[in-house]
Chains A and B, each alone.
Chain A
Amino acid sequence: GAVVSQHPSWVICKSGTSVKIECRSLDFQATTMFWYRQFPKQSLMLMATSNEGSKATYEQGVEKDKFLINHASLTLSTLTVTSAHPEDSSFYICSARVFGTINNQPQHFGDGTRLSIL
């Protein structure tokens, strides 16, 4: 159980394109989803916390207008990288958890999306 699916797994596009990444919880409802960015051989950096039905909470230094997050249902959150540029190239990972005590409800991670902007 607790499977998180992320799509697409790999995307290559031209500079200036907007790219949408989907994060779905397949067998549970996720009131909260998290979006991370990861550079090669480094740890995960939290970008934003996405709560179903409300605005996302962004971490300091993350541009809200650049990284649009929508969490319209209990099983789907999307991250749109608007007008992507080469410096946005990275590995983006989402995670999801069910509301409740964090001790019992760990975050379940998707397999990530490799974004390459040419």
Chain B
Amino acid sequence: TQLLEQSPQFLSIQEGENLTVYCNSSSVFSSLQWYRQEPGEGPVLLVTVVTGGEVKKLKRLTFQFGDARKDSSLHITAAQPGDTGLYLCAGANAGGTSYGKLTFGQGTILTVHP
């Protein structure tokens, strides 16, 4: 069974601060996806990282995939109240009977105070 450890579980910060969320595993993933979810809604895809060492930027969000494709991080610069939500990392399995399944991290509840 593949596991994806996501930390921290809860993050409460002031507007303008920076933050980093981590996802770590002992397993290799073919790709890793980051989602953001608001209460009562489904997760919305933010980014997919595929190549080991890859870095992707989405405005104030920076996503990194570890060289060995076992870990990833999400860094938010100058957080805003609109960034508040549940952030989920999910590793994709490419082979065997697990093809297409996602392994989700435990999630990070981010609260940005004005």
What residues make up the interface of A, taking CB atoms closer than 8 Å to B?
4, 6, 32, 34, 41-46, 49, 57, 91, 93, 95, 97, 101-103, 106-112, 114
Q: Bound complex: CA of A6 vs CA of B43, how far in Å?
A: 13
Interface centre among B48, B99, B101 (most CB of A within 10 A): B101
Q: How many residues of B contact A (CB 8 A)?
A: 28
For residue B16, which residues in chain A have a CB less than 8 angstroms away from its CB?
A: none
Q: Is the CB of B43 within 8 A of A32?
A: no
Nearest CB to that of B48 among chain A residues? A106
- Measured in the bound complex, the distance between the Cα atoms of B50 and A44 in whole Å is 22
Interface SS of chain A: strand
**Distance in angstroms between the alpha carbons of A114 and B86 in the assembled complex:** 17
Contact A103 B48 (CB under 8 A): yes
* Interface-central residue, B94, B100, B106, by most chain A CB under 10 Å: B100
B101 to A43, Cβ gap below 8 A? no
Residue B102 at the chain A interface, CB threshold 8 Å: yes
